[in-house]
Amino acid sequence: MEIIASSLAAGLLFGMVLALVALGLTIIFGVMDIINFAHGEFLMIGMYTALLTAQALGIDPLLTLPLAALVGFLLGVACYKGFISYILRGPMIAQLLGTFGLMLLLRNIALLVFGSEDRAVHQGLLVNKSFDIGLGIIIPATKLAGAGLSVVAFVAVWLLMHKTRMGKALTATALNPQGARYMGISTEKMNALAWGIGAGTVTMAGALIVNFWPVNPYVGLLFTMIAFTIVALGGFGSVPGAFFAALVVGLITEIPGFWDFLTYTLEWDWMFDVPMTSFKYMWIYVAYFIIMVVRPRGLFGWKH
């Protein structure tokens, strides 16, 4: 029972962080119908930003969150202005491969600058602390803080998009680009803004994740695929959909835990032999495939 309770808790907490990872992708997709392969690389940059700033200044990585967001915002706007705006009107294959090129570029620049070794946070207010919340569930403090801050950031961005003038313009562009143009909203500006917010949120997520996940230049692709899955599950372009879908995906990453629980409960021998931990992330891809085929509009059916 403890296994299943901790798996549930861990899955949901991780899911909350993943919600912030996917938020940027779904905003960008909603506004301009383009898939960004470099999404996970933005996350990787957020991780390095938080880690290195914290080490240089001797502060807790969690405090570097605003800086990570700023770096991400600028990076996103720069990528849009310098590159994405040129491939927007091209054929879809050029868009896909173009952002793949961006991904390779960012990944290998990181390799050149930071080297290929894993780096992790070893010092911080919350590192190596954990809470025992009963039922045998022990939660690392870094994960709890990450999840909490992620939800705060998620809600803040959601409010930004629905309560501010700028945000409403962005939402309007996502719903009806042509109509928004007639209302005097510059599509070009909104696209750049979407990239800024999109990248800014995911670098923030990176700054949270680095507290419990080592960073190396290759960390991005897994998170890109996770984000794709969440966005597909929640309905492409849907912000609330992304949140709930992220919780589901968080639980999917805990399938090995549930498997262990079943194995010990049922005591079927063959179950012990399945190296479920190795399949941890495969289930995410499987989930994407099944979701898209069975429910192309996302599990929750939210779609503009």
Partner 1 sequence: MEALKNAFDFSDQPRLDMTIAGAVGTLFLIFPLLPLSAFALATMIQFFIFSLYGMGWNTIGGYGGQVDLGKAQYVGIGAYTTAVLLIRWDIPFWFSMPIGVVFAVTWSFIIGYPLFRLKGHYFAIATIATSLVLKDLFEVWEFVGAARGLEISPIEYVPPDFLRLIFKEDIYYYYVIFVFFLAGLLFLNWFRKSRLGYQLRAIKDNEDVARSLGINVHWAKIKTYAIATAYVSVVGSFHACYIKAIEPEDTMSLDISILIALMAMLGGAGSLWGPIIGAGILIPLKSYLKEWLGGMSGLAGMDLILYAVIIMVISAKEPRGVWGIVERIRRRKRT
Binding-site size for partner 1 (CB under 8 A) equals 46
Amino acid at residue number 266: L
Identify whether the C-beta of residue 13 lies closer than 8 Å to the C-beta of residue 257: no
In the shown chain, the binding pattern of residues 259 to 298 toward partner 1, with x for contact by CB under 8 A and - for none, equals ----------------x--xx-xx--xx-xx--xx--x--
Smaller CB separation from partner 1, 16 or 232: 232
- Residue whose CB is less far from partner 1, 79 or 185: 79
> Whole-number minimum distance, CB 280 to partner 1, in Å?
9
Residue 278: both structure tokens together: 């190795």
Q: Minimum distance between the CB of residue 217 and partner 1, rounded to whole angstroms?
A: 8
> Looking at beta carbons only, is 66 or 82 nearer to partner 1?
82
CA quadruple 31, 32, 35, 40: dihedral sign: negative
- Output 6 or 99, the one with its CB closest to partner 1: 99
Residue 14 is which amino acid? F
Tell which one of 115, 136, 179, 301 touches partner 1 (CB under 8 A). Answer: 115
Q: What long-range pairs does 128-137 form, CB within 8 A, spacing at least 24?
A: 133/9, 135/1, 135/2, 135/5, 136/1, 136/2, 136/5, 136/6, 137/2, 137/5, 137/6, 137/9
- CB-count burial class (<10 Å; 0-12, 13-18, 19+) for 179: exposed
Instruction: Out of 2, 57, 66, 92, point to the residue binding partner 1 (CB under 8 A).
Output: 92
Task: Please state whether beta strands 130-132 and 138-140 pair in parallel, antiparallel, or not at all (unpaired).
Answer: antiparallel
CB of 250 to partner 1, least distance (A): 18
Binders of partner 1 in range 44-83 (CB under 8 A): 83
Q: Pick from 6, 26, 49, 95: which binds partner 1 (CB under 8 A)?
A: 95
Considering only residues 58, 91, 134, 184, which one is a binding residue for partner 1 as defined by CB under 8 A? 91
Extract the runs of DSSP E, i.e. beta strands, from the chain: 130-132, 138-140
Using CB under 8 A as the binding rule, the residues of this chain from 194 to 233 that contact partner 1 are 217, 221, 225, 228-229, 232
Could you say whether residue 301 binds partner 1 (CB under 8 A)? no
Kindly tell me which residue out of 52, 70, 78, 94 binds partner 1, with binding defined by CB under 8 A: 94
Write the CB contacts of 62 (distance below 8 Å, at least 6 apart in sequence): 124, 125, 126, 145, 149, 207, 208, 211
How many Å apart are CA 27 and CA 185, to the nearest integer?
Answer: 17
Burial 188-200, CB ≥16 within 10 A → b, else e:
eebbbbbbbbbbb
Question: Where along the sequence are the contacts to partner 1 (CB under 8 A)?
Answer: 33, 35, 83, 86-87, 90-98, 100-105, 107-109, 111-112, 115-116, 217, 221, 225, 228-229, 232, 236, 275, 278-279, 281-282, 285-286, 288-289, 292-293, 296
